[in-house]
């Protein structure tokens, strides 16, 4: 569905049907996906400029233009990137695309099981005695229970040394009406991956233990924008973003 919203070609009829149903329910779905992906690019560039050379991308999805390793390797060709997704088709496509670069891996694992993720073959090549950037971009809505989601980010935080980072984006109501949020949650409840929209206060709880890089938790287009976003761009993104540094 996400690949379809981004204009990608790695999607099937069943995905397109669900994505169109998603657009009926939530006309901002495309704006959300595009703003999210643009944040990912800006956050990875920021992190690479801070000297981060290890990335753990949770729920990396079907590889599409501007993948994390492409952005990171523009800054540092020796950066290590471990992708993780639980969706076998996304993982198979990623494997086929990632060819032979030993610095870039993809593991099939469920992010709700941090122990399994951390011992997956690709992830275990990360040197956790040095700073790591954990990317939880458009993934935490798939962990609807708030206690489970906070425990999850805490588990990844504990695996990382101070100086590590957590990047988060999360769907949240801005321009969407209450009816659109309910309808969008209903569409996703019919897929294998139900989601929950969170208000900013609940998203902030997921970043516990991290010092937020200015400007903090803000609508996705407002985080280190290339150009100042319009009010309309901000509202249509229906998501918040933050980058936290482990202290
Ligand atoms: C909206 S896409 C986001 C992709 C990418 N992070 C980005 O922002 O461009 C969400 C991805 O998370 C994956 N996903 C959902 N729940 C997951 C879970 N429990 N464990 C691992 N991956 C999961 C889905 O298969 C999908 O590829």
Q: What is the per-residue pLDDT for 65?
A: 67
The domain tally of the chain equals 1
CB atoms within 10 A of CB 109: 22
Q: Is the dihedral of CA 215, 229, 70, 153 positive or negative?
A: positive
- Which ranges of the chain have pLDDT less than 70? 65
Contact 135, 68 (CB under 8 A): yes
Place of tokens 């088709």: 89
CB under 6 Å to ligand 1: residues? 2, 36-37, 40, 59-61, 85-87, 90, 110-112, 137-139, 142, 193
Distance 57 CA to ligand 1 centre (A): 9
Domain that holds residue 10: 2-246
Q: What is the per-residue pLDDT for 234?
A: 97
Distance 110 CA to ligand 1 centre (A): 10
Ligand 1 pocket test, pick from 67, 141, 142, 188 with the greatest ligand atom count within 8 Å of Cβ, gives: 142
Query: Which positions ≥6 away from 191 have C-beta within 8 Å?
Result: 1, 18
CATH number of the domain to which 124 belongs:
3.40.50.150
Give per-residue pLDDT as tens, 10-68: 888 998 998 898 898 889 999 999 999 999 999 999 999 999 999 999 999 887 768 89
């Amino acid at each position: 569905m996400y690949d379809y919203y981004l204009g990608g070609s790695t999607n099937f009829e069943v995905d397109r049907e669900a994505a169109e149903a998603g657009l009926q329910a939530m006309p901002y779905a495309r704006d959300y996906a595009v703003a999210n992906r643009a944040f990912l690019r800006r956050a990875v560039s920021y992190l690479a400029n801070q000297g981060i050379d290890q990335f753990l991308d949770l729920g990396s999805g079907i590889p599409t233009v501007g993948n994390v390793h492409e952005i990171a390797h523009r800054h540092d060709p020796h950066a290590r990137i471990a992708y993780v997704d639980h969706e076998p088709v996304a993982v198979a496509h990623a494997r086929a695309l990632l060819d032979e670069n030993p610095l870039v891996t993809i593991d099939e694992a469920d992010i709700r099981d941090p122990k399994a993720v951390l011992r997956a073959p690709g992830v275990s090549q990360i040197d956790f005695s040095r700073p790591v950037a954990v990317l939880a971009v458009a993934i935490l809505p798939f962990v609807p229970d708030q206690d489970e989601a906070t425990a999850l980010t805490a588990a990844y935080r504990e695996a990382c040394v101070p100086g590590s980072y957590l990047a988060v984006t999360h769907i949240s109501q801005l321009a969407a009406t209450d009816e659109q949020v309910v309808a969008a949650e209903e569409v996703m409840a019919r897929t294998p991956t139900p989601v929950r929209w969170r208000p900013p206060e609940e998203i902030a709880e997921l970043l516990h233990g991290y010092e937020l890089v200015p400007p903090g938790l803000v609508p996705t287009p407002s985080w280190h924008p290339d150009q100042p976003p319009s009010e309309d761009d901000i509202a249509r993104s229906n998501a918040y973003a933050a980058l936290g540094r482990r202290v």
